[in-house]
Chains A and B, each alone.
Chain A
C-alpha cells in the first residue's frame, strides 16, 4: 500500500499563483504504480492551462498500511479534489474548493476544513453523484451538496448552503449546522438528517403553499437505524436527535419523491 503526500507549493505573496486549479486528475488509480517523477508529470489544469502536477504540488511517496492520498496547503481554489475516489483514504488538510469528492464510488474522504459547492455531485457530464464510500467534512460546505447523490454517507459537521440534497437518488447526508434554501428540491429517495432544522422550518412556514407541495406533513419518527452507524462524526451530529422528539418528512412530493428529511423538534423550531 502507498501513501502519496501532495503539499501545495508556496502561494503566500505569490501574485502569479493560479486563481483556479482543476485537480480532478489526482486519483489513486492514476498514481498507483507510478514513480514520483511520473506523478509530477501528471497533467492538471490551472486557469485553463495544462500544467504538470509537480509545478503546483510537492509529491512525496511512502509505504503505508492503506492506500492514502494526503493533500495539504491552501486548497480553497483547488477544485475536484478526490473526484471519482474509489478506494482507501483521501485526506484534505485545509479547506477544499468546489466539486470535492464528486462522483466518488468508494473509500473515505476527509476534509479538515470547509468544502465548496457541489460536494459529492456528479463528476463532469456524468448523470449520478457519489455512489459509495464516506465523506467527512469537519467544517461547513457550500451549495448543491449531495446533488444527484446515489449512495454512500456524507457528514458535514458545520452548515451547508442552498439546494442541499437536490435531486438526490439515495444515500445519507447528515448535517450538524444550519442549511440554506432549496433543501431536497427534486429529491427522489435517500435520507437527509439535520441536527439544526430551524432554518428549514422557518422557511417552510413562510412559504406554506410551496412547502406543502414539496414536503409531506412531518410525523414523529423513531430513527432506529441511526444505531447502525458507528462513525464518530455521525454519532456526534445525531446526538441531539437522540435526546429530542424526532420528526420525519418526505420529499420532494412535488416530483413524487420519497426521500426523507429527519430532524429534531427543538424549542426554536417550535417557536419559529
Chain B
C-alpha cells in the first residue's frame, strides 16, 4: 500500500479549513503524520497481578521512543485469567520498532532480562496471525538455551512452548510471536493556558484512551513534554526540541503559540491499524476538551513534517467528524 492513508473528504480545502471547536477548544486544521512500523503483542502472565505488573513494568521500561530506545512499548491492557493462555492473570503489551530486526533484538533482550527473571511469570504471543517463519520474533526459541539442555519443548494445538527450569519451578515461554505491520507516531498536542490545565487535559485524554484496544501511548503517563522536530543544528542529533511549540522561545523562533498559550503537552500513539489510532485520537481529544475546555485548554493541534516523511495522515477535523 503506497498511497497515503487519509480519511475521505480531506482533499476539500473548504472542509479541512473550516473552524472547529469542541467545548470552546479550537481544533486546528492540521494533521498528525505517522509512520509504518513493525509491531507485535506479547502476553505476560503470573501467579498474581502483582508479579505480572512487575514484569510488564520492567519490560516496558525505557521504551518511549524509537529515537534512542529503539522500541516503543507499553501495556495495552490487563487480562483476566479467562483471557490468557494459561488461565492466570496477565498483561498484554504492544511493541513497535522501525524494523523487524530492531523489534526482534529488543523483544528478545527484554523478555530475557525482564520476564524470565521475574518470579512466577510466563510469556506468550499475543497475536494469532499466521505469518511465515521469517516474520516471527524469537521468544522461547532463544531463551530456551538458558535451560542449559534441561529445557523441555511441548507442542500443544500446533504451538510450541518451552519449559525452562528456573529456581521457582519452570518458566513457560512460547517459541515465537508473529510480527505484523503497525503505525507509529500518531499524535495530538494539547495547548493550554498553563501547565496545570495542560496536565489535567492530558490525563483526561489518556484515561479515555486506556481501554481502547490495539493502541498504546508509550511515553511516561502516555504524554510527552519534549515534542521533537526532525534534525538539529548539531550534526549528531537526529531530532531536537519542537521550538515552534516551546512557550519559552516565543519571539525568538517561528512560534506557533499565541499569547495566553503557555504550556503544551503531546500525546503520542502507536497502533496496529489506522482506525485504532484514529479512534484513540478522537476519544482522547474529546475527553480533554470536555473536561478542560472551560478550564484552560485552549487548542488542540498535531505534529507533522509537511506530509513528506510518513504516509499515514490523521487530519484532526476528519478524525473528529
Instruction: Please determine whether B170 and A222 come into contact, CB atoms closer than 8 angstroms.
Output: yes
Let me know if A224 and B87 touch, CB within 8 A. Answer: no
What are the residues of chain A within 8 A of B163 when measuring CB–CB?
Answer: 225
- Chain A residues numbered 195-246 whose CB sits less than 8 Å from any CB in chain B: 221-222, 224-225, 227-230
Q: Could you write out 19 A-B pairs with CB less than 8 Å apart?
A: A151-B155, A153-B156, A170-B153, A191-B152, A221-B169, A222-B169, A224-B86, A224-B169, A224-B170, A225-B154, A225-B170, A225-B172, A227-B86, A227-B88, A228-B85, A228-B86, A228-B161, A258-B150, A260-B152
Tell whether A152 is near chain B: CB-to-CB under 8 Å: yes
CA distance in complex: A172, B154 (Å) = 8
Kindly list 19 other residue pairs between chains A and B, CB separation below 8 angstroms, not including A170-B153, A189-B152, A191-B152: A151-B155, A153-B156, A172-B154, A222-B169, A222-B170, A224-B86, A224-B169, A224-B170, A224-B172, A225-B154, A225-B170, A225-B172, A227-B87, A227-B88, A228-B85, A228-B86, A228-B156, A229-B156, A258-B150
Within 8 A of A (CB), among B149-193: 150, 152-157, 161, 163, 169-170, 172
Instruction: Evaluate contact between B172 and A228: CB separation under 8 angstroms.
Output: yes
Interface size class of B (residues with CB under 8 A): 10 to 19
Question: Interface residues of A toward B: which range?
Answer: 10 to 19
Complex contacts, B169 vs chain A, CB 8 Å:
221-222, 224
Q: Enumerate chain B residues within 8 angstroms of A172, measured Cβ to Cβ.
A: 154
Select A228's contact among B150, B152, B153, B154, beta carbons within 8 Å: B154
User: Residue of A at shortest CB range from B154?
Assistant: A225
Complex contacts, A225 vs chain B, CB 8 Å: 154, 161, 163, 170, 172
B122 at the interface (CB under 8 A from A): yes
For residue A258, which residues in chain B have a CB less than 8 angstroms away from its CB?
Answer: 150
Could you tell me which A residues sit within 8 Å of B by CB distance? 132, 151-153, 170, 172, 189, 191, 221-222, 224-225, 227-230, 258, 260
Chain A: interface secondary structure? Answer: mixed
A208 to B315, CA, bound (A): 77
Least CB distance, A69 to chain B, in whole angstroms: 20
A230 touches B157 (CB 8 A): yes
Query: How far apart are the CA atoms of A170 and B161 in the complex, in Å?
Result: 13
